[in-house]
């Protein structure tokens, strides 16, 4: 189990990104949760990666 300090650091990092993810291994699903701006930035980053994976 992560320490309180690690959990707080992780929360700060997710807030800076504007999204976080969780996964359901049984359903084999990933869930992205965040602000519109954070999720938009995630989508943009994935599109850039898909276009040129070696540049990220």
pLDDT tens digits along 1-56: 789 999 899 889 989 999 998 999 999 999 999 999 999 999 999 999 999 877 65
pTM over 0.75: no
Structure tokens at 16: 């800076």
Please give the Cα distance from 25 to 53 (Å, whole number): 26
Q: Give the total residue count for the chain.
A: 56
| pLDDT of 53 | 72
| pLDDT of 47 | 93
Structure tokens at 50: 């898909």
| pLDDT of 54 | 76
| pLDDT of 55 | 65
| pLDDT of 2 | 81
Please give the Cα distance from 46 to 56 (Å, whole number): 10
Torsion over CA: 45, 50, 51, 53 (sign)? positive
């Amino acid at each position: 189990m992560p320490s309180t300090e690690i959990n707080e650091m992780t929360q700060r990092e997710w807030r800076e990104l504007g999204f976080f993810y969780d996964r359901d291994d049984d359903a084999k699903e990933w869930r992205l949760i965040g602000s519109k701006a954070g999720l938009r930035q995630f989508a943009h980053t994935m599109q850039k990666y898909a276009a040129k994976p070696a540049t990220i």
